[in-house]
Amino acid sequence: MENTQEYIKNFSEWRNERAKAILEKGNPETLDEFTYLVPSQTSNKKYKVTHIDAYSCECEDFKRRCQGKNLYCKHIKAILLFEKVKAKYEVGPQVEREIELIIDTPQKDLCPECNSENLIKSGIRKTQIGEKQRYECRDCKKRFVLSPIKNIKGNAKLVCLAMDCYYRGLSYRDISHQFQQFYNLKISHVTIRDWVLKFGNIMEKYSEKIQPQIKGVWNADETLILTKEGKNKENTNYHYVWNVMDNKTKFLLASECSGRSRKSKDAQHVFTEAWKQNGKMPNQIIVDGYAGYQDGCRKTFRNWGNERKVKFTSIKGQRKAVNNNAIESHHSHQKEFHKVRRGVTKVQEYQDGFKIFHNFVRKNSRQNLTPADKCGIGIKGNAWETLLLNSIKYNNSRDLTGEEKIVETP
Q: Which of 296, 327, 345 is the last residue of a domain?
A: 345
The yes-or-no verdict on residue 406 having pLDDT over 80 is no
Question: What would the pLDDT profile of 336-352 be if each residue is shown by its tens digit?
Answer: 888 777 778 888 899 99
Claim to verify: residue 120 and residue 238 sit in the same structural domain: no
Claim to verify: residue 57 and residue 115 sit in the same structural domain: no
Percent of the chain having pLDDT more than 90?
16
**pLDDT at site 401:** 47
Claim to verify: residue 68 and residue 119 sit in the same structural domain: no
Claim to verify: residue 117 and residue 236 sit in the same structural domain: no
Does the residue 191 lie in any domain?
A: no
Give the predicted TM-score (pTM) of the model.
0.62
Residue 53 pLDDT grade (very low, low, confident, very high; cuts 50, 70, 90): low
Does the residue 46 lie in any domain?
A: yes
The yes-or-no verdict on residue 301 having pLDDT over 50 is yes
The total domain count for the chain is: 3
| Whole-number average pLDDT of the chain | 78
**pLDDT at site 403:** 42
Claim to verify: residue 136 and residue 21 sit in the same structural domain: no
Question: What would the pLDDT profile of 92-150 be if each residue is shown by its tens digit?
Answer: 443 333 333 332 333 456 676 676 777 888 787 666 555 667 778 888 887 766 655 55
Q: What CATH number should be reported for the domain holding residue 329?
A: 3.30.420
Q: Which of 313, 345, 377 is the last residue of a domain?
A: 345
Is the pLDDT higher at 383 or at 32? Answer: 383
Claim to verify: residue 231 and residue 340 sit in the same structural domain: yes
Q: Which of 322, 345, 368 is the last residue of a domain?
A: 345
Question: What would the pLDDT profile of 236-285 be if each residue is shown by its tens digit?
Answer: 688 899 999 999 899 999 999 998 889 999 999 999 999 999 888 898 99
**pLDDT at site 272:** 92
What residues make up the domain containing 256? Answer: 217-345
The yes-or-no verdict on residue 402 having pLDDT over 70 is no
Claim to verify: residue 141 and residue 226 sit in the same structural domain: no
The yes-or-no verdict on residue 183 having pLDDT over 70 is yes
Does the residue 140 lie in any domain?
A: yes
Three-class SS string for the chain? CHHHHHHHHHHHHHHHHHHHHHHHHCCCEEEECCEEEEECCCCCCEEEEEECCCEEECCHHHHHHHCCCCCCCHHHHHHHHHHHHHCCECCCHHHHCCCCCCCCCCCCCCCCCCCCCCEEEEEEEEECCEEEEEEEECCCCCEEECCCCCCCCCCHHHHHHHHHHHHCCCCHHHHHHHHHHHHCCCCCHHHHHHHHHHHHHHHHHHHCCCCCCCCCEEEEEEEEEEECCCCCCCCCCEEEEEEEEECCCCCEEEEEEEECCCCHHHHHHHHHHHHHHHCCCCCEEEECCCCHHHHHHHHHHCCCHHHCCCEEEECCCCCCCCCCHHHHHHHHHHHHHHHHHCCECCHHHHHHHHHHHHHHHCCCCCCCCCHHHHHCCCECCCHHHHHHHHHHHHHHHCCCCHHHHHHHCC
Percent of the chain having pLDDT more than 70?
79
Claim to verify: residue 60 and residue 132 sit in the same structural domain: no
Does the residue 271 lie in any domain?
A: yes
Does the residue 379 lie in any domain?
A: no
Does the residue 43 lie in any domain?
A: yes
The pLDDT of 281-294, averaged and rounded, is 89
**pLDDT at site 355:** 92
Claim to verify: residue 124 and residue 76 sit in the same structural domain: no
Does the residue 368 lie in any domain?
A: no
**pLDDT at site 404:** 45
The yes-or-no verdict on residue 321 having pLDDT over 50 is yes
Is the pLDDT higher at 241 or at 21? Answer: 241
**pLDDT at site 127:** 63
Residue 88 pLDDT grade (very low, low, confident, very high; cuts 50, 70, 90): very low
Claim to verify: residue 340 and residue 221 sit in the same structural domain: yes
Claim to verify: residue 10 and residue 129 sit in the same structural domain: no
**pLDDT at site 41:** 78
Claim to verify: residue 117 and residue 40 sit in the same structural domain: no
The pLDDT of 304-325, averaged and rounded, is 80
Does the residue 299 lie in any domain?
A: yes
The yes-or-no verdict on residue 405 having pLDDT over 60 is no
The yes-or-no verdict on residue 177 having pLDDT over 90 is yes
